[in-house]
Amino acid sequence: MIKLLSLLLLLGFSSIYANDLNDKVLAEVGNEKINYEQLQRAYAKNLNRGPEQLKDLPRDSLYDFVNLYINYRLKVLDAIDKGYLNDSAVIAEYKGNRKLLAESFFFEKKLMKPKIDLILERRKWDIRFAYIIIPKNMADSSTTSQAEKKADEAMKKIKAGVDFAEVAKEYSADPQTKDTGGMVASYITGGKIQRPLENALYSLEPGEIYPNILETNYGYFILKLVEKKKRELAYGSHILVGSVTSWNEEDSIRYDKKADSLISLLNSGADFAELARVHSDDESTKENGGSFGEYYSRSSGFQKSGSPLLKSFEDGLFALKDGEISGKVWTEYGAHIIRRDSSKILDREEEFKEVKKLYKRIYYNDDKEFFIDSISRSYGFTVFDNVLNDFVESVDTQKTTLGVDWDANVNDDLKNKQLFQFNKKLFTVDDFIFNANKNPNLRGTPLTRAGIKIACRKIIEDDVFEMATASLDSEFPEFAALLKEFQDGIILFKAENEEVWQKREFDSTLAKTYWDSTKSKYLTNYQIDFSEIFVLTTKDANDIKKALDNGASFDSLAKIKTQRSGYREKKGRFGLMDAKRNKVAQIIDTNNISEGQIQGPIETPRGFSIFKIHKVVEPRVKTFDEAFSEVAPKVQDITQNQLREKWLNRVKEKHAVKINNDVIDEILEN
């Protein structure tokens, strides 16, 4: 009992401590208190550390980051002291970028997140369903009417108690499923079928029939949910006994006997992987001991490729528990002996990335249009149809607003009529014409009813977003923090420009002093004076090397044999080349080469080379002028750091800094 009480107290303390950690103040800068949550957010964001926690860092690393963040806050506070928050340029930049940040954040949180969360929730389940499809011909209204009537008949029979499978056989137009009672063989999960069908199916429990006929552009659907299972990923291996190139009754008997003997060996303790390597006829997996090398889902296939397994194999794999080995599972390839090696739960982070890509590719644009339209209407956006009709009649609906004088036939009386309203503000036809001609986003608007209505909404879109995003700061603390960081970044840039970048001047005396103390680091590269005979084939290269070994002149052979463009007349001579900058010289080994030495043949890009080394110039210390381009940036860094240090020291006199060592010790110890 005492042990249990101690454990409960420990668990309770851990929970309380975890909740309290974010509020712990690690440092103070002036009147600002810097807590753990603030530092952790900055650490994760600025250093791309992901889930790594500050409390798990070594002591020195934690203190380094605390000091780095303190310096950042000191510079921001000085920028505030300088009055940059009231600077008109800062205010304009902040407002402009707030709009962009707000729109992106708004759609992410208000539109995408709920939709993606719904798909992710559905992806916890694999489902199988049956359906009846009655297609319609959109070009023939009488056929469409007949299709609707036929769908009604089928639904009435189902509601009257006739078996769904029987109705599917009678009414469904899908030849692949009607004979199986409408049953779809494969499993599906969220994001794998048309959304209206998915919405309907995930509202059902197994055995239920969706009460309404679903109409799509293709036809009328009647749906039944057959099965719903927790989605799982299985890792499997197999031994295949069979061949797609040879399959007859005699082979079938032979495969059957061989599979039986392998199963007997496995039951006697034989190693599955070794049997697969020796006996499996699947060339793609046998070397891996029969392993497929990746996890598999019934509804989405292999994790990497997305490829599906044959249905009978899939059923065999998922009928097993981890570590179990199947009997013979037959497919068109032969007899399989399957082992289910392991299972794993779904990785929500991986799923999230995949689903987000899928959503943005398939649904986002349509959802965004509908979303914007619904928001606009919620703020009073209305198009007056009677005026819209008159407007459409006065323009050429085959053209767009790119046409010359597209509005020439719109009379003054119509121009003064109110075409639409938004947030109690009225817009005339003339207002529309003005915007259509001036706003780049409206260039090329189709002069149809639909085109003009969409353009009306685009005219007020900026106002819609300004209203819709006005409360994001208070609704989402992370957005308020994002804006604060962005604003701090703007004023920090101005302060750093004033205190450091505008004041930095290149100090040539400091540069010379720096070079004097570090010049041993600045060395010239190896330089090699060489000639080359370049040929395209190994045979030519070997023949030339043999001739050279027998005393032939390198220059003479280079003059007639080298195939590098422009080098025959030079007898292959490159002259003195930098061993790091010249691509051909880079190929020559600079270790222990000597003058007069012949190297090769060496394989080079597009051929083979034989080199003769005329001279090697060893590295030496560069002169100040030669090293200047390397020294100058380092001297500039020194100057900037000195200016930055003076700046920070001056700010610290106004805004005192305090690091709470006891709090940091407590965090590290826990």
pLDDT tens for 503-515 read 988 889 999 999 9
Rounded to the nearest 10 degrees, how much is the dihedral formed by the CA atoms of 171, 172, 176, 182?
Answer: -100
pLDDT at 438 over 70: yes
pLDDT above 90 as % of the chain: 81
SS3 446: strand
SS3 28: strand
At CA 255, angle to CA 251 and CA 261, rounded to 5?
A: 150
Other Cβ atoms closer than 10 A to 616: 18
Alpha carbon distance 532, 588 (integer Å): 11
pLDDT at res. 152? 95
Closest CA to 601 of 591, 612, 590, 592: 612
Other Cβ atoms closer than 10 A to 469: 20
Average pLDDT, the chain: 91
Can you say how many angstroms the Cα of residue 636 is from the centroid of all Cα atoms in its chain?
38
Alpha carbon distance 338, 291 (integer Å): 10
Phi/psi-derived region of residue 31, left when phi > 0, alpha when psi is between -120 and 50, beta in every other case:
alpha
pLDDT at res. 339? 97
Helices (H), 395-442: 412-415, 429-438
pLDDT at 3 over 50: no
pLDDT at res. 218? 86
Q: What is the pTM of this model?
A: 0.71
Asked if residue 512 lies in contact with residue 584, where contact means CB atoms within 8 angstroms, the answer is no
pLDDT at 64 over 80: yes
pLDDT at 11 over 60: no
Rounded to the nearest 10 degrees, how much is the dihedral formed by the CA atoms of 97, 100, 106, 108?
Answer: -120
pLDDT band at 49 (very low <50, low <70, confident <90, very high): low
pLDDT at res. 246? 59
Structure tokens at 469: 């995003």
pLDDT at 6 over 80: no
What is the rounded average pLDDT of the residues 393-411? 94
Kindly state the DSSP code that residue 309 receives in the 8-state scheme.
Answer: P
Structure tokens at 535: 């040929």
pLDDT at 524 over 70: yes
For 446-496, the pLDDT digits (tens) are: 999 999 999 999 999 999 999 999 999 999 999 999 999 999 999 999 999
Q: Using only C-alpha atoms, what is the Rg of the chain?
A: 38
At CA 172, angle to CA 166 and CA 174, rounded to 5?
A: 125
For 24-45, the pLDDT digits (tens) are: 999 999 999 999 999 998 898 8
pLDDT band at 304 (very low <50, low <70, confident <90, very high): confident
**Considering only 84-98, 234-248, 318-332, 363-377, which range has the smallest mean pLDDT?**
234-248
Alpha carbon distance 221, 199 (integer Å): 13
pLDDT at 10 over 80: no
Kindly state the DSSP code that residue 291 receives in the 8-state scheme.
Answer: B
Beta bridge partners of 330: 335
Kindly state the DSSP code that residue 321 receives in the 8-state scheme.
Answer: P
pLDDT above 70 as % of the chain: 94
Asked if residue 577 lies in contact with residue 524, where contact means CB atoms within 8 angstroms, the answer is no
Other Cβ atoms closer than 10 A to 597: 14
pLDDT band at 47 (very low <50, low <70, confident <90, very high): low
What is the rounded average pLDDT of the residues 530-552? 95
For 324-362, the pLDDT digits (tens) are: 999 999 998 999 999 999 999 888 888 898 899 999 999
pLDDT at res. 143? 60
